[in-house]
Structure 1
Amino acid sequence: MLIAFFINDLEREYPGYTTTVLAHQAIMRGHRVCYMTPHDFVLQPDDSLCGHARFPAQKKYKDREEFFAELKSPKCKLEPVDISEVDVLMLRNDPSIDSETPWAMEVGILFGREAAKRGVIVLNDPDSLGRAINKLYFQSFPSEARAETLITKNESDIKAFAKAHKNNIILKPLQGSGGSGVFKLDDSAKSNLNQMIEAIGRDGYIIAQAYVPAAKKGDIRLFLMNGVPLQIDGKYAALRRVASKDDIRSNIHAGGTAEAVEIGKTELKVAELIRPKLVADGMFLVGIDIVGDKILEVNVFSPGNLGSCSRLAGVDFSVPILEAMERKVEIAKDYSQAFDNRHLAVL
């Protein structure tokens, strides 16, 4: 099958990224792979959907680094592709990092919808991704699974919320990812609250979230596939992300470190609480961040750290993901037009 990976741009991709892990696994399984960016779609006058894509050579690579080097090399040039010939389009971009080019933020969603109309399996479902383009989507999950949250641009609202929680809250932007613009308020930093509000508020709405004490131990990144925790023989695709001593952010590229973690009843209960919503929305591959018995984030666009989860668990979690994608293609062929993309995404 042909799998197209939609990303922000190649310059911001790396060999260890989850997208590379999945693309490398796909090509090692004999599938054709291509990469597309927001610049690459073409809707023709005859209403056919085409594009310009980068096709790495279809061969056995000695490792992921060699595959990535091929992808980045001058040999891997743009080639035309008819989107109707793509079996799976995987939307792996992060809209928040395209804030300086706002036209690019929803390109994957817009053309993903067009691709789905033409019979392409689009993961995750683009209609639902359109509703999840900022962190407000998080509020649609059961309150039992969420830390108490306020979303506002009003300074007095935030100060009242901080007072109610004894100045023990987290502040972050409604739009954003990777720990950008995240502040921890406590008694020692309360004099800086005005500056925090100003710094975050200039770019939009502010999320104020009750601090969960268990966050001192870091958060747990857990992958869900087809709505359920991804596992191989009882080993879960998960890790604990621990912040550095001088930073509250546990994101790996923000200085956090990855550690092996055991997934128990608490984490599985949280995952089950949010499963119905993810399934209803056609969210195939999701990364959730858990602290204690609460979820802090639900990453439905480009959840990362799959390679680290595999390394720590001693298994390759990209294998069941590709197997699931292969199965979806089989179902689509066996049940021609019987399922819409949102349902097919989680079958």
Structure 2
Amino acid sequence: MTITFVVNQVRKESAGFTTTALALEAHKRGHTVYYVGVGDLVYLPDGSVGGHCRKMPDREFRSLRTFLEAIVEVEKKLVSAVKWDVMWLRNDPAVDMEKRPWAQDAGVLYGQLVGQQGTLVLNNPDGLIKASNKMYLQYFPEQVRPQTVITRSIADVQAFYRDQNHRIILKPLKGSGGKNVFLIDKKDNKNLKQIVEAICRDGFAIAQEYLPAAKKGDIRLFLMDGEPLTKNGKVAAIQRVQQAGEIRSNIHQGGTAKPANMNKAMQGIVEAVGPLLRKDGMFLVGLDLVGDKLMEINVFSPGGLIHANEFHQEDFIEEVITAVEQKVKNYVPNP
């Protein structure tokens, strides 16, 4: 098959990204692999969509690093999406929010056109538009969500802060990677107004109840087609633990990771959210869990799968590409 990975900017990809591991696994299996940045997508005069792509050289690679170095050095060439079997949207719109706002929606908008032309698009771009910010969490059953207020009103946040015994989490409605996430308690309440104002410069603020279990970090659980990603009875899940004095457990924010195993609370959350994720065409997602609550759903480019491979000594990346191959084999475009 021919698989095209859409990323924010090819030259800013990393050997540690899950996307790199997925692309290398596809290449190892003999598939044609393209990389394209969202800024290199194009609508062509014949009515089709394409991109100025980098094609992976037809040779073996010893590591993720050498694989990525090779793709970055390839000269871009215009390729029509008619030649693609899969367009995989792995760009994170939140990364482009400040410096490249024009790029935020480009992937899903082009993805919709590519899907209409008969190519399999992962994750489903219509579903991604619905899930384009943290409001998506509110579509899921109340029992698995933390109590939440989404607003631009400082008065709303202050009232919620009082109702939550003066301890809440504040973060932007749009964003990723733990950026602009704050824990507000009694010692910080004098800064509450300024923090809300700063967050609301770019949109709405989310105020969430603080979960004491968050002191132990969170769990990133990978789902594929609404079910836990598994291999040989092991589940692709990692526990991320924050640094001392830090509330964010994101690995690139200094958090550390260790293996996590499935438990009853996690299974209950999966059963609650899996059906809608399947309906919305969310092929591969990462759930961020604290205790028995779902904090976030990462639908664009969930990372950490390489860590899951290492901790559990299983190749979950292999399972994902096998599933993509099966999807292509069974894919019937909408008329």
For normalisation by structure 2, the TM-score amounts to 0.97
1:44 positional shift:
2.0
Partner Cα separation in structure 1 for residue 327 and residue 145 of structure 2: 31
| Partner residue, 2:289 | 290
Alpha-carbon separation, structure 2, partners of 1:226 and 1:202: 36
- Residue-by-residue CA offset, 1:180-226 (whole Å, 9 max, x unaligned): 00000112222221222122122211000001111010000000001
Distance 1:133 1:322 in 2: 24
The alpha-carbon deviation at position 48 of structure 1 amounts to 2.2
Q: How does 1:50-199 map to 2 (within 5 A)?
A: 50-73=50-73, 76-99=74-97, 100-199=99-198
Can you list the C-alpha shifts for 1:56-93, whole angstroms capped at 9, x where unaligned? Answer: 202221222221111122xx110121101100110001
CA offsets 1:95-118 (integer angstroms, 9 cap, x no match): 011112222111111110111111
The one-letter amino acid of 2:322's match is: E
Alignment map for 1:138-287 (pairs within 5 Å) = 138-287=137-286
Distance 1:64 1:202 in 2: 38
**Which secondary structure state, in structure 2, belongs to the residue aligned with residue 62 of structure 1?**
coil
Deviation at 1:11, TM superposition (A): 3.0
Structure 1 residue 324, shift from structure 2 partner: 0.5
- Match of 2:215, SS state, is helix
Secondary structure class of the residue paired with 2:187:
helix
Matches of 1:173 and 1:39 in 2, distance apart?
25
How much does 1:167 deviate?
1.1
Give the CA deviation at 1:294.
Answer: 0.4
CA shift, 1:50, in A, is 2.3
The residue that corresponds to 1:343 in the other structure is: none
* Aligned residue number for residue 35 of structure 1: 35
Q: Distance in 2 between matches of 1:156 and 1:64?
A: 49
Partners of 1:6 and 1:167 lie apart in 2 by 43
Q: Is the 8 A contact 1:240 1:260 kept in 2?
A: yes
Structure 1: 5+ residue runs without aligned partners? 341-347
The amino acid of 1:82's aligned partner reads S
Letter in 2 for 1:47: G
User: Partners in 1 of 2:310 and 2:51 — Cα distance?
Assistant: 35
What is the rounded CA distance, in whole Å, between the counterparts of 1:12 and 1:147 in structure 2? Answer: 34
- Is the 2:56–2:70 contact (alpha carbons within 8 Å) kept by the matching residues of 1? yes
Give aligned pairs, total: 334
Letter in 1 for 2:287: I
Residue correspondence of structure 1 range 5-44 to structure 2 within 5 A: 5-44=5-44
User: What is the identity percentage for the equivalent residue pairs of Structure 1 and Structure 2?
Assistant: 45
The 8 Å contact of residues 168 and 185 in structure 1, kept in 2 or not, is answered as: yes
Offset of 1:302 from its aligned partner?
0.6
Cα distance in 1, alignment partners of residues 154 and 48 from structure 2:
49
Q: Deviations over 1:308-336 (max 9, x none)?
A: 1111111111111000000011102xxx4
Check the 8 A contact 2:38/2:91 in 1, yes or no.
Answer: no
Q: Secondary structure at 1:5's aligned position in 2?
A: strand
8 A contact 1:242–1:258 mirrored in 2 = yes
Kindly indicate whether residue 314 of structure 2 is the aligned counterpart of residue 315 of structure 1: yes
Cα displacement (A) at 1:278: 0.1
Task: Tell me the distance in 2 between the aligned counterparts of 1:44 and 1:218.
Answer: 47
Structure 2 gap ranges (5+): none
CA distances 1:119-143 after superposition (whole Å, capped 9, x unpaired): 1100000011111111111111111
Equivalent pair of 1:28/1:59 in contact (CA under 8 Å): no
Distance 1:265 1:247 in 2: 28
